[in-house]
Structure 1
Amino acid sequence: MSDVANANDASDIEKARAVMACVAAVNWAMRRMPRTVAAAGGDVLLFDAIGSTNTAARELVAAGRPVAVVAADAQTAGRGRLDHTWTSCPGESFTVSFVARASRAIATDERVNGWLQMIAGLAALDSIRAAVHDSGSGNLMLKWPNDLFCDGRKLGGILAEMVVPPAGVSQSADGDVTLVFGIGINLAVPADRLPTAQATSLQLHYDVSADNADALRDAIAAGIVAGLRARIAAFAADPHGQASRLLDETRRVCWTLGHEVEAHFTDGSTLRGEALALNADASLTIRTQDGDAHVVRTADVGVLA
């Protein structure tokens, strides 16, 4: 009996600690991300350090707790597509996850659901431009399917995940599903601290420093919250019509198109060729050297030249 009681006590202690951590994170967000809190209508958490903002957001959603944004000064076990890692240091990076809802019909419709991740990328570009007062220089672009580029180098990345509630947790009565968009951006990372020679940071192109990184993170996150909500609402109202508009918009900012690329698939295979076209379902067509056209829907695509 005592062993059971001790186990329950330990479980209760861990739950209490988790609740206290969330309360502290809510208070921290209200102090340091007030614009984001206002844009989201609350339910924003900011941690000093966390393993992964996406993991935290997924777990909170799965537990039925209200959450709109999870941010962290430092992330130690962040993930990108295909399990790539994304770590960050305080004052240098934007590591924020955004929780959104979409109808299950749209989220599972392969004719249009590829646009949900592209919507996150477009919302991020809009918000970054506004925050750094970029008047449309053309430096800020998207690399299909999930990277943010600046002047031809990687500025950040996006990981989109759909949350499936575990057994015993009720699902949405209206048929909606929950989406988590984890967005990482190099804000004030100096050149000698960038992870690769193909990376860049906003600091190297705009008036950004560690001194104003907090305010910049807040401005960008608030803009993404508003952009995601507006874009997803428009998409839900007319998914096929919006897909056509998104196709035109994304083509104009797609760094991948016209470049030599190499696609890496989850089974370890690769495909090299020219990124020929962005398609109506948000897939990418790659033309190999033999002249064959291949439609790629899920892959990590690197630009070679």
Structure 2
Amino acid sequence: MPRTVAAVGGGVLLFDEIGSTNTMAREMVAAGRSVAVVAADRQTAGRGRLDHTWTSAPGESFTVSFVARAPRAIATDERVNGWLQMIAGLAALDAIRAAVCDANDGKLMLKWPNDLFCDGRKLGGILAEMVMSPAAFDVSADDADDDVALVFGIGINLDVPADRLPTAQATSLQLNYDLRGNAAADAADSGNAAVTDADTLRDRIAAGIAAGLRSRIAAFAADPRDQAATLLEETRQVCWTLGHEVEAHFTDGSTLRGEALALNADASLMIRTPDGKTHVVRTADVGVLA
């Protein structure tokens, strides 16, 4: 993954097969080891939000975890930290648009809070986890309270044919864009015709996400209030959830059904139920019904 290595300056691990890229990244951070990106050709025990599973096959999927750092005060501040998840989604959309021919057609969107959508179907998902580095537990360290690691596991259906998609509501980049032509042109530019389509595309997208996460989180950390307002407007423009009938599933097993009205200043979602009441949803698996 040469572009990704260049984007992060090193610390990139690539596995033929792994249980979970997020688990590997999280364990390395917790052990104090330096890592920026963990990628795998095949993932056998991947996890999504609320313990959903995400598996992948070689050459078909993008299965990559990114490690970013943010001030602990911001990462733990519920007034603004919801935007960190949305930043990962926006960085992923930017990277796909830059890497894939014709992807600036308006079909790429976000489903609140953690899914990538293309033409109304699920293209991928994001799992965000906060990890305290060993220094965070050392009260004698000067920067003990300053920094935390954020692990963003991003899965994207790349070259997946329709008969191999996990559900009828899923899609892949292959089904929407010309990946072959894009990869062939890229291989010709790089002088490496031996690079496979999946390898080339994964590297381009991963490098874009890594760079986007770095720049976006730095801007957010410098001025979270102002950036939250900017992110709110940007996310509204690409939020597939808004205006649709949705059902929110919570960790306690309860559900809430209604219309997704708006995003709030803290990145939470406003839902209006059939009785006319509005509800603020901050953590849930939200499915679009219509």
Q: Work out whether 1:150 is the aligned partner of 2:118.
A: yes
Equivalent in the alignment of 1:178: 149
Are residue 164 (structure 1) and residue 135 (structure 2) matched? no
Structure 1 residue 246 corresponds to structure 2 residue 227: no
TM-score by length of 1: 0.87
1:63–1:169 Cα contact (<8 Å) kept: no
Task: Decide which structure has greater helix share.
Answer: 1
| 3-state SS, counterpart of residue 174 of structure 2 | helix
Compared CA separation, residues 50 and 169, structure 1 to 2 (3 A): farther
Maintained 8 Å contact 1:64/1:169: no
CA distance in 1, matches of 2:135, 2:44: 29
> Which whole-Å deviations, capped at 9, do the CAs of 1:32-57 have from their partners, x for residues lacking one?
x0000010100000000000000000
Which piece of structure 1 moves more, 172-181 or 92-101? 172-181
Q: How many residues align?
A: 273
Aligned partner of 1:231 among 208, 216, 224: 216
Whether the aligned pair in 1 keeps the contact of 2:32 and 2:134 (CA below 8 Å) is no
Is 1:201–2:172 an aligned residue pair?
yes
**Structure 1 match to 2:79:** 111
Aligned CA RMSD, in angstroms, stands at 1.6
1:177-236 alpha-carbon deviations (Å, 9 max, x no partner): 010000000000100000000000000011125941110000000000100000000001
Q: Does 1:101 align with 2:69?
A: yes
What is the CA–CA distance in structure 2 between the aligned matches of 1:168 and 1:244, rounded to whole Å?
30
Match of 2:23 in 1: 55
Partner Cα distance (2:109, 2:85) in 1:
14
1:220 lines up with 2:188 in the alignment: no
CA distance in 2, matches of 1:166, 1:289: 48
User: In the alignment, what sits opposite 1:35?
Assistant: 3
Contact 2:101 2:178 (C-alpha < 8 Å) held by counterparts: no
- TM-superposed CA distance for 1:167, in Å, is 10
The amino acid of 1:300's aligned partner reads: D
Instruction: Give deviations 1:219-263, integer Å, cap 9, x for gaps.
Output: 000000100000000001100000000000000000000000000
- SS of 1:89's partner is coil
Instruction: Tell me, in whole angstroms, the C-alpha distance in 1 between the residues paired with 2:72 and 2:132.
Output: 11
Q: Cα deviations across residues 10-40 of structure 1 (Å, max 9, x unaligned)?
A: xxxxxxxxxxxxxxxxxxxxxxx00000101
1:295 aligns with 2:277: no
Which residue of 138, 163, 168 maps to 1:192?
Answer: 163
Q: CA deviation at 1:170?
A: 4.4
Give 3-state SS (helix, strand or coil) of 1:67's partner. Answer: coil
* Structure 1 stretches lacking a partner, 5+ long: 1-32
CA contact (8 A) 2:127 2:154 kept: yes
Q: Deviations over 1:89-138 (max 9, x none)?
A: 00000000000000011001111000000000000000000000336311
**Aligned residues of 1:93 and 1:187 also touching (Cα < 8 A):** yes
Residue 179 of structure 2 aligns to a residue whose secondary structure is coil
In the alignment, is the contact (CA less than 8 A) between 2:101 and 2:179 conserved in 1? no
Distance apart, 1:278 and its partner CA: 0.5
Q: Distance in 2 between matches of 1:168 and 1:120?
A: 23
**Change in CA separation of 1:166 and 1:41 when aligned onto 2, cut-off 3 Å:** closer
Alpha carbons 2:136, 2:147 under 8 Å: kept: no
Structure 2 partner of 1:86: 54
> Is 1:263 aligned to residue 231 of structure 2?
no
Match of 2:33 in 1: 65
Q: Which runs of 4+ in 1 moved over 6 A?
A: 166-169
